[in-house]
Chain A
Amino acid sequence: MIVMQLLLSFVASTLFGMIFNVPPRLLPHSGFVGMSGWAAYTFAVRSSVDSVIATFMAAFFVAFLSNAFARRYRAPATIFIVPGILPLVPGGTAFEAMRHVVMNDYNAAIPLAAKVFMISGAIAMGLIFSEVVNQLVKRRP
Chain B
Amino acid sequence: MTERIDEVMEICLLAGKLMLESGGETYRVEDTMTRIAASFGMPRSHGYVTPTAIIFSIEGTDSTRLIRISERSTDLAKVAVVNDISRRISRGELTLEKARKELEDIGRAPMGYPLWQQTAAAALASACFASLIGGMVHFFPSLFSGGVAFWCFEMVHRFVKIRFFAEFFASFVAGGLVLLMVQAGFGGDVGNMIIGSVLPLVPGLAITNAVRDLMAGHLIAGLSRGAEAFLTAFAIGTGIAFVLSIR
| A21 with B212: CB separation less than 8 A | no
| A74 with B237: CB separation less than 8 A | no
Residue of B24, B77, B195 near A91 (CB, 8 A) is B195
CB interface residues, A 64-100, toward B, < 8 Å: 74-76, 78-79, 81-83, 85-87, 89, 91-92, 94-96, 98-99
Q: Which residues of A contact B76 (CB under 8 A)?
A: 20-23, 76, 78-79, 82
Q: Which residues of A contact B194 (CB under 8 A)?
A: 95
Shortest CB distance B125–A (Å): 4
Q: How far does the alpha carbon of A23 sit from the alpha carbon of B76 in the complex, in Å?
A: 7
Q: Does A38 contact B (CB under 8 A)?
A: yes
CB interface residues, B 99-134, toward A, < 8 Å: 111-113, 117-118, 121-122, 124-125, 128-129, 131-133
Contacts A89-B199, A124-B211, A128-B215; A95 near B122 (Cβ below 8 A): no
| A86 with B80: CB separation less than 8 A | no
Report how many A-B pairs have Cβ atoms within 8 Å.
140
Closest chain A residue to B82 by CB distance?
A76
CB interface residues, B 168-200, toward A, < 8 Å: 191-192, 194-195, 198-200
Q: How far does the alpha carbon of A72 sit from the alpha carbon of B152 in the complex, in Å?
A: 37
Q: Does B42 contact A (CB under 8 A)?
A: no
Contacts A11-B124, A22-B77, A95-B191; A78 near B209 (Cβ below 8 A): yes
Contacts A127-B212, A128-B215; A102 near B205 (Cβ below 8 A): no
What is the interface of chain B mostly: helix, strand, loop, or mixed? helix
Q: Does B43 contact A (CB under 8 A)?
A: no
Residue of B77, B131, B204, B245 near A16 (CB, 8 A) is B204
Q: How far does the alpha carbon of A36 sit from the alpha carbon of B161 in the complex, in Å?
A: 36
| A85 with B208: CB separation less than 8 A | yes
Q: Interface size on A (CB < 8 Å)?
A: 42
| B212 with A95: CB separation less than 8 A | no
Q: Which residues of A contact B204 (CB under 8 A)?
A: 16, 20, 82-83, 85-86, 89
Q: Does A101 contact B (CB under 8 A)?
A: yes
Q: Does B96 contact A (CB under 8 A)?
A: no
| A8 with B125: CB separation less than 8 A | no
Q: Does A55 contact B (CB under 8 A)?
A: no
- Ordered by A's residue number, 16 sampled pairs between the chains whose C-beta atoms are within 8 Å are A15-B122, A16-B125, A18-B113, A20-B23, A21-B112, A22-B76, A76-B24, A76-B28, A78-B212, A83-B204, A89-B199, A89-B204, A96-B191, A98-B241, A124-B210, A127-B212
Q: A12-B132, A23-B80, A95-B240 are in contact. List 16 more A-B contacts (CB 8 A).
A: A11-B124, A11-B128, A15-B121, A15-B122, A15-B125, A19-B150, A20-B74, A76-B28, A78-B208, A78-B209, A79-B79, A87-B132, A91-B198, A120-B207, A124-B207, A127-B211
